[in-house]
């Protein structure tokens, strides 16, 4: 009998490299969709901290060979804001010493101010990313910094390659988002409704999302439907 192929546990967007795991922003939509996947990974790897999604490190992964994928999402199963700065420095050292031609590293945080400390040491093949679900503040949905703070902190980062994630997108004010994006000038914008459809969120209508895509594209920006495009297909 043919053996059933084991389902991959890696994120579908791109290959993740996770010497750091976990987050304390306690986002409602992560509890509904992403956290159950991490619990499964925690059981598979026999790591209670992964299961609980508490910030922690896996130092042995710094010594292992990096995945061969061209695009690597660094700490894809956590928010690097919660990582000890000394360990972040070790992660950056591995990235700097990587010799794979054409490699692109993705670094994402809902508190992009954490990138300031490492900007001078980052290799040029890094794309910095942040999530801004809306210009409106929804404190009951996430304990991450308010969107206006994320926008300002991301804007102040002196880095040539930036991308914006608007997933799960929440009700927004179109004119404000257009102004923010025009100021940020991201090379890519990923927009999507809550993927698992398990949470009760204040979402815009599909027509409003389509209008956002059109208006941003008319301004010259590249937008992608997060459900259809993978990071590795864009960068």
Question: HEC string of the chain?
Answer: CCCCCCCCCCCCCCEEECCEEECCCCCHHHHHHHHHHHHHHHHHCCCHHHHHCCCEECHHHHCCCCCCCCEEEECCCECHHHCCHHHHHHHHHHHHHCCCCCCEEEEECCCHHHHHHHHHHCCCCEEEEEECCCCCCCCCCCCCCCHHHHHHHHHHCCCCCEEEEECCCCCCCHHHHHHHHHHHCCCEEEECCCCCCCCCCCCCCHHHHHHHHHHHHHCCCCEEECCCCCHHHHC
- Residue 11 in this model has a pLDDT that exceeds 60: no
pLDDT at 8 (0 to 100): 44
Residue 195: pLDDT band (50, 70, 90) is: low
pLDDT at 42 (0 to 100): 72
Which domains does the chain carry?
Answer: 15-234 (3.20.20.70)
Nearest to 107 by CA among 87, 132, 130: 130
Cα→Cα distances 171→10, 43, 65, 129, Å: 30, 36, 42, 21
pLDDT at 199 (0 to 100): 75
Kindly report the average pLDDT of the chain as a whole number: 90
Nearest to 11 by CA among 107, 79, 83, 77: 77
- Residue 228 in this model has a pLDDT that exceeds 90: no
Residue 155: pLDDT band (50, 70, 90) is: very high
pLDDT at 14 (0 to 100): 60
The whole-number average pLDDT for the span 64-68 is 92
For residues 75 and 79, give the distance between their C-alpha atoms in angstroms, rounded to a whole number.
Answer: 7
């Amino acid at each position: 009998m043919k053996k059933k192929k084991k389902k991959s546990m890696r994120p579908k967007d791109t290959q993740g490299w996770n010497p750091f795991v976990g987050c304390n922003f306690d986002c409602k939509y992560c509890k509904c969709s992403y956290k159950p996947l991490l619990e499964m990974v925690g059981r598979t790897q026999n790591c209670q901290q992964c299961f609980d999604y508490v910030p922690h490190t896996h130092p042995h992964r710094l010594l292992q060979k990096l995945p061969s994928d061209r695009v690597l999402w660094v700490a894809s199963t956590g928010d690097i804001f919660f990582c000890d700065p000394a360990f972040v420095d070790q992660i950056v050292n591995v990235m700097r010493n990587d010799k794979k031609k054409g490699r692109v590293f993705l670094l994402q945080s809902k508190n992009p101010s954490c990138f300031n400390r490492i900007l001078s040491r980052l290799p040029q093949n890094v794309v910095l990313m942040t999530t801004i679900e809306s210009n409106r503040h929804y404190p009951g949905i996430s304990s991450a910094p308010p969107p206006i703070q994320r926008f300002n902190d991301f804007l102040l980062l002196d880095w040539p390659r930036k991308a914006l994630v608007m997933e799960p997108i929440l009700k927004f004010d179109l004119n404000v988002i257009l102004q923010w994006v025009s100021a940020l000038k991201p090379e890519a914008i990923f927009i999507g409704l809550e993927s698992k459809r398990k949470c009760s969120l204040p979402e815009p209508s599909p027509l409003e999302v389509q209008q956002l895509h059109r208006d941003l594209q008319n301004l010259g920006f590249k937008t992608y439907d997060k459900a259809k495009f993978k990071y590795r297909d864009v960068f």
